[in-house]
Structure 1
Amino acid sequence: MSNFDFIIIGAGASGLLLADALTSDDFFSSKSILIIDRDDKTTNDRTWCFWEKGEGKFDHLLHKSWPNIHFSGSGFERSASIAPYHYKMLKGIDFYDHYLEKIKKHPNVTWVKDRVTLVEETDQKDLVTAQNGFFTGDTVFNSWLNHQNVLSQKKYPLLQQHFLGWFVKTEKPVFNPEEATFMDFSIPQKGNTRFMYVLPFSEREALLEYTLFSENTLEKSEYEDGIRDYIKNNLGNTAFDITATEQGTIPMTCYPFYGHNSDKIMHIGIAGGWAKPSTGFTFYNTSKKVSALVEHLKQDRPLSKFYKRNKFWFYDLLLLDILHKHNHLGQSIFGSMFKKRNAQLILKFLDEETSLWEDLQIISACPKIPFIKALFRRFF
């Protein structure tokens, strides 16, 4: 049985960004690192999107970026520049290829392709059980999400951001490659929060995703019908070919995942609650969390003390309370924000970088009664 200083379970965004941060810092050059994942990361299994001011450390890997975004609500639509931000898209395979090659060059890193079945904390070491072996470590970073922890409680509502996307190539030029459709609520809501998400790569190529914030997922055919109807009603019913697909679901909850951390085991990525509860955006927040975590480790502070709850957690909780009870209100809430406030302020708010005064500007743009009711339910 091999022992390691650090064990990282999962070679997704959080696992690879953490491994890269550790191997890029001379402070950890003497530390042995084990990375376990059941997949070899040789396929494009996802895309990540985020917004950022100016140039960033992922720019050389980007598939596309957009200087403008579009929003459509009920009887309202707006296209706007988001300068100094750019909306950026990164394909999973490009991310994996870059970071796998970079990390594997370090002699203190061991890779194992296996499926982890159990993580246990003992008095001496952490024990990681996989299908084909056992490993011990001084510290474990676990990106393996245990859904049962969230499902077995009622205090914090659980919604899903679930989606199915088609990469399409159209017969006619119908897209604006300089503008990403952030949310298009013009599609039938059917009692939910439903919108189309459109990322154009050229005038004839784009990713179209039929997306919901709701409690339950749909049959595959319903997502597909939604995309077909959108193309018919909004893109001139042009002929198209599907070049690739993607499908996924991201938990949207304020459940305290950090409560399962200890001084020797820490949950990271979505499993650590690093996804923004109100939007599902995870990648850029994960990058920021990893930087903070590395500094935390260098100060030799307990892992259980890493997480700090802030005001944005409470804002997200109120929104999820509303959408869990009245799922159809998403269209009016996001519509009011984009109608009354500029896109840059909204993106800054969603990045959790606004001042209290800026928070109040966003909050005042939202429908008042649902949030007042949610606030009273939480307190009383």
Structure 2
Amino acid sequence: MVNLIPSPCLACGFHGAMPLFDGGLQPLATLGWPDNAESSLQMERLRLDFIRCLRCGHIYNQAFEYQQVPYVKHPNLMYNQASLWQAHQQAICQRLAAALPEDPVVIEIGCGSGGFLKQLAQHVGCGQFIGFDPNSGTSLDSDRVSLRPELFVPAKHLAAYQPDLILSRHVLEHLINPLAFIQELAFASSLLGQQPSLFFEVPCVDRVLAFGRLEDLYYEHNSHFTSHSFKAMLQSLDCRVESIETGYNQEVIFGLIKLEPMPLARQIVAETENFSQLARAARQHIPIQIRSLLTAGKRLALWGGTGKGAAFVHHFGLDLPHIPMLVVDSDPDKVGSYVPGSQYRISPRQLLLEEPVDTILIPAQWRAQDIVLEIQAAGIPYQQLLLEHQGQLVDFFNAEHPYRQIFGHALD
């Protein structure tokens, strides 16, 4: 039986993994840099607890804590002067150069000392090349290549540079959540009306799994991409996949995609901003309306003492001793209890026959018509029935709102 771990995958988001390898407690493997035997032996040991997604096969350390990795003190320098590795980089540069428009703007996230970015600039011959790496300790400005010792902030820097290509090599495996990182890039691009190409390269662990290699599993690499999990992550975006391939004897995997618009995301942003605006208006206007009713001598009752009724009380600041208001409920089981977090005792609806009020507030819009029918059937008197709509209290019978007709039955 599989030991199912309900952990969200860092590549596809699936909530379901199984144990892969428990490495116990080990020191940092690439960023510790001890300068003597004593400090080396005293290095802090960190937990290696690698699990594997059951949908895409991604491998990640569920015990990983980013703050334990001292990138600021010791940048993650990768030896890249070997001839075969240089040949691989040259081949990647040639392919990216062929895919770029004339005079492109290229951004590299996690550029290190800028070696790859400079190589790419040489292949292209024109354009602007900007590298971001807060831990590089290097700042460089030339006619075409600029290195920024800072974090890349998608909304800020996409707007400033409008890149044709964003690339990031051997960075995703170090992140807390690589899926969230690329989704933020895609989302920010869409909101800005941009459709850049994205290029990512990471180590590929297909051969690690095939041959049982343990040396690849250490703390600094939080994520380990299989060819399937890498594809799943990129294909989760709204994009056109140009290519996804392995290279360097299948030890790395890289992909080039072209982002596409995200119309639903833009719609969601608009809806969210509209709701936030209505919520602010409601919390400002409805308390004023209630105070005006009280000032005019109106007696108030709230129909519903828990759930939406309680939320109504607290959203609009009615949980104050100086606000006189009856609270009644259709459910006899709630009678005698109190509106959560307030001084209001919940009474039976029959109280409104004995102590009539002028205005009944109905916070449960979704069943407002049923409540009105119940009020009318019980013969409960009232002058006005109000419910919240579009940021203010409106009259159930006289105002325009969508809650007056259900199943073709309209109340007049």
> TM (normalized to structure 1)?
0.20
Structure number with greater Rg is 2
Q: Which has the higher contact order (CA 8 A, sep 6+)?
A: 1
**TM-score, normalization by structure 2:** 0.19
